[in-house]
């Protein structure tokens, strides 16, 4: 008896150790987990069997169900409730915007509005007639007004709360709009608080998805589980125990109607397994493909790898507010010359990214063709350091996130490369790795010496890079004469500008471009701004990652879109 107890105690301890080891093993393999920030979830589906019985089992329906597999299940189905790209893939099927992106392009096309005009600070839109929401409600100007109020107005009766609505409310609409009014059911007037060239593109963002006023009033926060839009697919059910969201074709869709009967979004956490699932016929389209998974897709006889340049940027920012050495342009240039970004994209990112030379990639207008990436040149780097008075080197801490992100698929290896490259010119780098969410707090408080970071576009407008990431956005009084950086403590400081860079010429160009409606003039200003950013090097411009999808051979019509999408209404199954 006593012997049994001893053994039991021993085994209990052993079991605990084994469990700990399994967890550790899981966490230690970043390549195996999805890159999204949002997790998977659940809803009332678990308890409610009656509704699901209706659709029952479709043994014949094989050809008409399109399966889209990704790394994580959605966290919410409400576009005003999310900042996660994982969630947006689903909401983009259910919801439309007033103005929309051309599939596979960065240009705009008609959405729920058929005509629009931006003049001065006034936007007028003519709305499409005869469109109905999935709940049968007619789409009118009141729906957009309710959508806008719910997202940005805390005094609105149906405002769902500060922790419910996402930061995209002010970021996309609220910060720029003075008022929204209607003239009849199908005409909208939006007054802006300043001239703002990217505004029409903001209306095309997922965050500007148009909700039904009736649904807003009836469902409130339940819209997170039960979306009601005008889009090509309508919501059927969210089977959280199987991490699946089922959508059915909206036969009354005003645009190009879906060619499949239903779409199922499923989640497979491991990149490798997801690729294997595609290869063995368990999925039709997959995303979130790393280097290893892309090889499986390439080798597959049942599927092919589709790729396209993405609209994103990965960089290493110098915190000029904190590190004195980084205030010297020559030091920043020296480091840019010391880091081998070519090896980075080719060997570490395995060719799923290309080298960057400026804040925006070549598929965004305003890209400056005359600029090329800093080439690795250690002699030049050393000379620059000498000239700046740092010839004996110095040391700094590089903060990085641990898990892969689209624009930086191997952050830890990339950090190691930086460390060893800079060691060659006498600069000592210590690496501080963190999970993404404490990391964001760390960098937005300016605690880093230098950090990796990156950006995925919101609206494919250059302003969304130049102004959002490298403009301090403080009042003139906060700037110091003759100093091209600003403190993180400055009133109203844009904490996304993790370099704390405040170059007056650059700022003027970007501000002018933001309020210039003449496209040619605007483009020229961004080209000049790009040149300043390149030369002044507030960042080491690292890479622009490609968008990769695995698509089964039986799928046709799939368009890989650098922004918005996936456009699953264009897809058919053979």
The reply on whether position 495 binds other proteins by CB under 8 A is yes
The reply on whether position 49 binds other proteins by CB under 8 A is yes
Binding span for other proteins by CB under 8 A among 52-60, 90-98, 144-152, 360-368: 52-60
Binding span for other proteins by CB under 8 A among 7-15, 105-113, 313-321, 418-426: 7-15
SS3 357: coil
The reply on whether position 40 binds other proteins by CB under 8 A is yes
Do 210 and 143 form a contact (C-beta atoms < 8 A)? yes
Element spanning 431, H or E: strand 428-434
The reply on whether position 447 binds other proteins by CB under 8 A is no
H-helix segments, 280-349: 291-299, 329-338, 341-343
The reply on whether position 58 binds other proteins by CB under 8 A is yes
The reply on whether position 574 binds other proteins by CB under 8 A is no
Cβ at position 84, least distance to other proteins in Å: 8
Q: Mark 293-311 as b/e (b = at least 16 C-beta within 10 Å).
A: bbebbeebeebbbbeebbb
Task: Please pick, from the candidates 126, 362, 444, 516, the single residue that binds other proteins as defined by CB under 8 A.
Answer: 444
Q: Which residues contact 218 (CB under 8 A, 6 or more apart)?
A: none
Other C-beta atoms lying within 10 Å of the C-beta of residue 446: 18
Cβ at position 264, least distance to other proteins in Å: 4
The reply on whether position 120 binds other proteins by CB under 8 A is no
The reply on whether position 475 binds other proteins by CB under 8 A is no
Closer residue to other proteins in complex, CB, 105/272: 272
Cβ at position 401, least distance to other proteins in Å: 11
Closer residue to other proteins in complex, CB, 25/136: 25
Cβ at position 524, least distance to other proteins in Å: 28
The reply on whether position 272 binds other proteins by CB under 8 A is yes
Draw the binding track, 346-385, toward other proteins (x: CB under 8 A; -: no contact): ----------------------------------------
The reply on whether position 553 binds other proteins by CB under 8 A is no
Q: Which residues contact 258 (CB under 8 A, 6 or more apart)?
A: 232, 233, 249, 250, 568, 569
Cβ at position 249, least distance to other proteins in Å: 14
Q: CA 416 to CA 429: how far, in whole Å? A: 9
Element spanning 118, H or E: strand 113-119
Closer residue to other proteins in complex, CB, 287/328: 287
Task: Please pick, from the candidates 168, 176, 452, 558, the single residue that binds other proteins as defined by CB under 8 A.
Answer: 168
Residues 175-234 that bind other proteins (CB under 8 A): 221, 224-225
Binding span for other proteins by CB under 8 A among 51-59, 105-113, 409-417, 505-513: 51-59
Angle at 460 between CA 454 and CA 461, to 5 degrees: 100
SS3 30: helix
Q: How far is CA 123 from the centre of its chain?
A: 27
Binding span for other proteins by CB under 8 A among 94-102, 126-134, 210-218, 275-283: 275-283
Do 401 and 287 form a contact (C-beta atoms < 8 A)? no
Residues 13-32 that bind other proteins (CB under 8 A): 15-16, 18-19, 22-23, 25-27, 29, 32
Q: CA 70 to CA 302: how far, in whole Å? A: 18
Binding span for other proteins by CB under 8 A among 72-80, 88-96, 320-328, 502-510: 72-80
The reply on whether position 37 binds other proteins by CB under 8 A is yes
The reply on whether position 246 binds other proteins by CB under 8 A is yes
The reply on whether position 174 binds other proteins by CB under 8 A is no
Task: Please pick, from the candidates 147, 276, 319, 457, the single residue that binds other proteins as defined by CB under 8 A.
Answer: 276
Closer residue to other proteins in complex, CB, 325/468: 468
Task: Please pick, from the candidates 147, 212, 234, 277, the single residue that binds other proteins as defined by CB under 8 A.
Answer: 277
Q: What is the DSSP letter of 5?
A: H
Dihedral angle over CA of 273, 279, 285, 289, nearest 10:
50
Q: Which residues pair with 188 in a beta bridge?
A: 125, 182
Q: How far is CA 512 from the centre of its chain?
A: 26
Q: Which residues pair with 541 in a beta bridge?
A: 315
Q: CA 205 to CA 209: how far, in whole Å? A: 7
Element spanning 23, H or E: helix 2-27
Binding span for other proteins by CB under 8 A among 269-277, 322-330, 333-341, 548-556: 269-277
The reply on whether position 158 binds other proteins by CB under 8 A is no
SS3 406: coil
Task: Please pick, from the candidates 371, 431, 440, 532, the single residue that binds other proteins as defined by CB under 8 A.
Answer: 440
H-helix segments, 339-452: 341-343, 378-388, 411-423, 436-444
Q: Which residues pair with 433 in a beta bridge?
A: 400
Closer residue to other proteins in complex, CB, 50/574: 50
Other C-beta atoms lying within 10 Å of the C-beta of residue 325: 22
Burial of residue 236 (CB within 10 Å: 0-12, 13-18, 19+) is middle
The reply on whether position 280 binds other proteins by CB under 8 A is yes
Task: Please pick, from the candidates 135, 218, 282, 308, the single residue that binds other proteins as defined by CB under 8 A.
Answer: 282
Task: Please pick, from the candidates 155, 184, 241, 491, the single residue that binds other proteins as defined by CB under 8 A.
Answer: 241
Cβ at position 236, least distance to other proteins in Å: 8
Binding span for other proteins by CB under 8 A among 266-274, 311-319, 354-362, 548-556: 266-274
Do 230 and 239 form a contact (C-beta atoms < 8 A)? no
The reply on whether position 251 binds other proteins by CB under 8 A is no
* Alpha-carbon distance values, 184 to 127, 142, 189 (Å): 10, 9, 11
Closer residue to other proteins in complex, CB, 264/323: 264
SS3 123: strand
């Amino acid at each position: 008896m006593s012997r049994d107890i001893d053994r039991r105690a021993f085994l209990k301890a052993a079991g605990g150790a084994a469990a700990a080891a399994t967890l550790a093993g899981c966490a230690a393999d970043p390549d195996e987990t999805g890159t999204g920030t949002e997790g998977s979830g659940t809803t009332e589906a678990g308890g409610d069997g009656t509704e699901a019985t209706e659709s029952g089992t479709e043994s014949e329906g094989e050809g008409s169900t399109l399966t889209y597999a990704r790394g994580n299940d959605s966290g919410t189905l409400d576009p005003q409730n999310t900042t996660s790209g994982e969630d947006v893939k689903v909401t983009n099927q259910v919801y439309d915007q007033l103005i929309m992106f051309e599939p596979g392009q960065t240009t705009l096309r008609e959405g729920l509005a058929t005509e629009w005009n931006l003049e001065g600070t006034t936007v007028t839109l003519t709305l499409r007639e005869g469109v109905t929401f999935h709940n049968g409600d007619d789409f009118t100007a009141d729906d957009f007004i309710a959508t806008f109020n719910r997202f940005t107005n805390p005094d609105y009766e149906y405002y769902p709360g500060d922790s419910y609505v996402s930061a995209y409310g002010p970021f996309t609409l609220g910060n720029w709009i003075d008022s929204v009014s209607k003239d009849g059911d199908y005409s909208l007037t939006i007054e802006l608080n300043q001239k703002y060239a990217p505004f029409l593109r903001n209306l095309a963002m997922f965050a500007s998805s148009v909700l039904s006023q009736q649904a807003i009033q009836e469902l409130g926060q339940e819209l997170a589980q039960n979306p009601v839009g005008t889009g090509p697919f309508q919501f059927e059910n969210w089977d959280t125990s199987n991490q699946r969201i089922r959508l059915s074709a909206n036969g009354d869709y005003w645009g190009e109607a879906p060619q499949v009967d239903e779409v199922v979004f499923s989640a497979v956490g491991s990149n490798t397994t997801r690729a294997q699932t595609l290869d063995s016929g368990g999925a039709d389209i997959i995303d979130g493909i790393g280097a290893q998974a892309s090889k499986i897709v390439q080798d597959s006889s049942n599927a092919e790898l589709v790729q396209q340049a993405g609209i994103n940027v990965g960089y290493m920012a110098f915190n000029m507010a904190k590190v004195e050495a980084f205030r010297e342009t020559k030091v920043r240039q020296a480091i840019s010359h010391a880091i081998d970004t070519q090896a980075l994209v080719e060997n570490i990112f395995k060719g799923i990214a290309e080298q960057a030379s400026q804040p925006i990639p070549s598929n965004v207008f305003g890209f400056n063709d005359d600029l090329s990436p800093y080439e690795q040149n250690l002699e030049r780097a050393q000379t620059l350091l000498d000239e700046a008075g740092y010839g004996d080197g110095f040391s700094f801490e590089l903060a990085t996130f641990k898990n892969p992100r689209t624009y930086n698929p191997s952050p830890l290896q990339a950090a190691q490369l930086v460390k060893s490259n800079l060691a060659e010119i006498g600069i000592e780098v210590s690496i501080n790795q963190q999970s993404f969410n404490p990391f964001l707090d760390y960098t937005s408080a300016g605690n880093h010496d230098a950090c990796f970071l990156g950006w995925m576009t919101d609206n494919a407008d250059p302003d969304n890079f130049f102004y959002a990431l490298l403009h301090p956005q403080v009042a003139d009084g906060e700037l110091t004469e003759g100093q091209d950086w600003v403190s993180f403590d400055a009133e109203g400081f844009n904490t996304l500008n993790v370099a704390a860079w405040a170059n007056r010429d650059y700022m003027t160009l970007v501000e002018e471009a933001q309020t210039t409606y003449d496209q040619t003039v605007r483009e020229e200003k961004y080209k000049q701004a790009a040149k300043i950013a390149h030369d002044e090097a507030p960042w080491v411009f690292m890479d622009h990652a490609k968008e990769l999808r695995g698509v089964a051979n039986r799928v046709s019509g799939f368009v890989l879109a650098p922004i918005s999408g996936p456009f699953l209404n264009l897809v058919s199954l053979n």
